[in-house]
Amino acid sequence: MFLAESHQDWHHFRPVLDHLTGALAETVLYVCADPRDPAMHRQSPRIRTFCVGKGLPRIWFCQFVEADVLVTQTLPRLLADAPLKLRRDAKPLLGQAAAQRAAARDRVLAALATARFARLALRLQAWTMSRPIKGRTLRQLAPRVLSRARKRLFDEAKEFVSLSTDERHRVRILAKRLRYALDVLSVALSREATERYIDALAELQDLLGELNDDAVARVALHEFPAATATAALSARLEVAERRAAEAAQPTLRRLRETPTPW
């Protein structure tokens, strides 16, 4: 299954999709958020498309995830070693953020109870239970798929410290794709070598996730301009982002030096 967060993702997915649906004769599920995605207009019986759109359920889900991370992870991390005055000043902001989180959660629960979501779940379930088309084994598929995913990650991560927020987010997405592919194909690989590689990749993902959380929090704090602690927390976020970006550079190097299990 492929999940495209924008119609531009198609250009990155297309070589893999063409190989899977062509040479390997595999059928894939392609879930996208944009009806303009070229995959939606692809006349191929081996590409099953589903557009979740950019409607309220998707927006509400993203809002809940961002609010949840802000309230339960990012702000507590920033305030853990903060001066007592800042922790006191941040209490009203934490209360407002928690209220937003609760409201977003209620909207998500309401969306999950809709007929639209039920249809999506049933379609996905039907696809997972469909008869697979004969093709190559996972052992044959793994080297090509994983090598390509690894190359894309390191190509995009060059000079990581100097990358923009959007470019770092792109690196995070590519690391996730490598991890997902490795999780799926790990049954055909050496267990010990795979675990070592996943450990190194997970270390990088933790840092990239922290960077993304901080970037989201920076934007979210703008919603509370009147809060006394907003400016101080924004400053601490900048310091945290810089440290995480600097730590990612040697982590990327260690991952590059880790032997691949495929």
Q: pLDDT tens-digit profile of 24-35?
A: 777 887 877 777
Token pair, residue 198, equals 């996943």
Q: What is the mean pLDDT of residues 127-140?
A: 69
**Residue carrying structure tokens 């004969």:** 134
> In the structure encoding, which two tokens stand for residue 92, read together?
């009203």
Of 196, 198, 147, the closest CA to residue 176 belongs to 198
Q: Provide the CATH number for the domain formed by 55-257 in this structure.
A: 1.40.20.10
Strand partners, 30: 2, 49
Say yes or no to pLDDT of 148 above 70.
yes
If one counts every other C-beta atom within 10 angstroms of the C-beta of residue 220, the result is 19
| Residue with tokens 């070589």, as numbered in its chain | 15
Section 144-149 average pLDDT = 94
Q: Residue 195 pLDDT more than 90?
A: yes
How far apart CA 86 and CA 96 sit, in angstroms, is 16
Per-residue confidence (pLDDT) for residue 179, from 0 to 100 = 92
Residue 174 has pLDDT above 90, yes or no: yes
Confidence at 228, pLDDT banded by 50, 70, 90: confident
Q: What is the mean pLDDT of residues 201-212?
A: 94
Tens digits of per-residue pLDDT, 34-64? 778 888 888 788 888 877 665 555 555 566 6
The pLDDT assigned to 170 comes to: 92
| Single-letter amino acid, residue 65 | V
Query: Could you tell me the pTM of the whole model?
Result: 0.66
Amino acid 78 reads L
* Among 50-54, 56-60, 174-178, 241-245, the least confident range: 56-60
pLDDT value at residue 226 = 64
pLDDT at 229: 87
Give residue 133's pLDDT: 63
Q: For residue 108, what pLDDT is reported?
A: 77
**118 confidence band (pLDDT: 50, 70, 90):** confident
Give the residue from 51, 58, 57, 23 showing the smallest Cα distance to 37: 51
Residue 191: burial class (beta carbons within 10 Å; 0-12, 13-18, 19+): exposed
pLDDT of residue 190: 92
